[in-house]
Amino acid sequence: ETAYPLRISRYELREDSSGAGEFRGGLGLRRDITVRDHTATFSLLADRQTHRPYGLLGGDDGESGSAVRIDPDGETERLPQKSTHSLPPGTTVSIRTPGAGGYGDPTARSKT
């Protein structure tokens, strides 16, 4: 934040984004980045926004990812997974990475 005109306003795990299974998939992340002082150019190169990460051997799929532009007036726009944008000051981009699919039958999960 000291080197670039950006503010990280949110950085957290995405609750319930992993696929169920005997072994659960990993959680996705959510990062909200706000442009502070100058117009910024933002490039997004992401995958798994239209197809959920699949589970294996009976595990459930993980949640898909997304990226959302939030303008200073509160208007939102979902961004294409491969795109470049000019962002004026006050604009926030919320990046949500996909959760991983689970492995194995969820009913075989250990109770301990």
For each successive 10 residues of the chain (112 residues), what is the average pLDDT?
87 96 96 94 92 95 96 96 95 97 93 72
Q: State the pLDDT at residue 112.
A: 66
- Distances in Å between the Cα of 103 and the Cα atoms of 29, 49, 81 are 20, 21, 26
Q: Answer whether residue 110 is part of any domain.
A: no
Q: Which one-letter DSSP state was computed for residue 107?
A: G
Q: State the pLDDT at residue 18.
A: 96
Q: State the pLDDT at residue 110.
A: 82
- Amino acid 36 reads R
Q: What is the pTM of this model?
A: 0.86
- Domain total for the chain? 1
Q: Answer whether residue 41 is part of any domain.
A: yes
Domain span at 65: 6-100
